[in-house]
Amino acid sequence: MRTGNPICGNPRNLRMKDAVGLFALLTGANIILRQRGVTLVQNGESHILNQTNWLDHVDVLSTNAPSIDEMMDSTNSMGQAVELYFVRSLDGGGLLGACRTKGIAVATRGDAVVIAHEVLHSCGTDVSPVEDIYMVEDPSASPLNPVPGLASQNNLPSDWGGGYYPPTLTQRELIGRLIMRSGGEEGVDTATPRDLPSGTIYGWKHSIPTDGTSPMVLGQASVGQSAAQRTPESY
């Protein structure tokens, strides 16, 4: 899988600014993505987009987001490739990464896990999206309203019996291990999110999977292999 890697603005402001750093990020992402048989390989050199107004983006989850779409339209000519754009911030620092039809944006604080997470989003379709899953309904609210109960066959029907689950493992702790986990919960987030399950997992998710602003509901979230139906690329 080829990647194009535009970097916006002054690269001195960005952690991901050199070939060594980018190689390390892709290597880390590939450790996770190999669960899906995906390997990211840089094709050509990174390019700096000398537009300081593209360093920070807001409202990136909306269908119509002119700033980020304009940035991605300026270079999206790689064909069947994953286009990665490294910027300073997304939604005022509230997001580390954003997968859009035309490419993937990664904020300065983003890492290899963020890249793998967003690339897996691009493996989904409108009919079979790869969703986000959350341990709590709203990490900024009180009470947090975490996913209830222990990990069980009903909560991970396609994966039960495919591994060892300690009898005290809660469902929200299991969600904390998943690569498609978004947000988190202090004191429970102890594992680096890396796991790509076979099928759906019970947890908090958006009621409209393709709309990150839609209300949260409890249910089976499509966060596994069964939802990854296409080769990741920018469309």
Query: What is the maximal distance between C-alpha atoms in the chain?
Result: 54
Within a 10 A sphere around the Cβ of 187, how many other Cβ atoms? Answer: 6
Q: What is the pLDDT along the chain (235 residues), one digit of tens a residue?
A: 445 566 654 443 344 456 678 889 999 999 999 999 999 998 877 888 888 999 999 988 877 888 898 999 887 666 678 999 999 999 888 899 999 988 999 999 899 999 999 999 999 988 889 999 999 998 777 888 999 999 999 999 999 987 788 999 999 999 999 999 997 666 666 678 899 999 999 999 999 988 888 899 999 999 999 999 899 887 7
12-19: which pairs have CB atoms within 8 A and are 24 or more residues apart? Answer: 13/55, 13/88, 13/108, 14/86, 14/87, 14/88, 14/108, 15/108, 15/109, 16/86, 16/106, 16/108, 16/110, 19/46
For residues 164 and 119, is the Cβ–Cβ distance under 8 A?
A: no
Which of 16, 8, 12, 81 minimizes the C-alpha distance to 44? 81
Give pLDDT, residue 234: 79
> Residue 11: its pLDDT value, please?
40
* Residue type present at position 100: R
Helix, strand, coil share (%) of the chain residues, nearest 5: 25, 20, 55
What pLDDT is attached to residue 2?
Answer: 47
Closest among 29, 26, 2, 4 to 196, alpha carbons compared: 29
Q: In degrees rounded to 5, what are phi and psi of residue 117?
A: -60, -50
Using CA atoms of 225, 32, 1, 53 in order, give the dihedral in degrees to the nearest 10: 110
pLDDT for the residue 1: 44
Token reading at 186: 């202090």
Provide the pLDDT for residue 8.
56
Q: What's the Cα-to-Cα distance from 120 to each of 38, 52, 123, 214, rounded to whole Å?
A: 9, 29, 5, 20
Q: Say how far apart CA 165 and CA 187 lie, in whole Å.
A: 19
Contact yes or no for 47/6 (Cβ under 8 A):
yes
Residue 79 has what pLDDT?
66
End-to-end CA distance of the chain: 14
- What does the DSSP assignment read for 162-205? SS---TT-BHHHHHTTBTTEES--TTT--S-S-B--SS-EEEEE
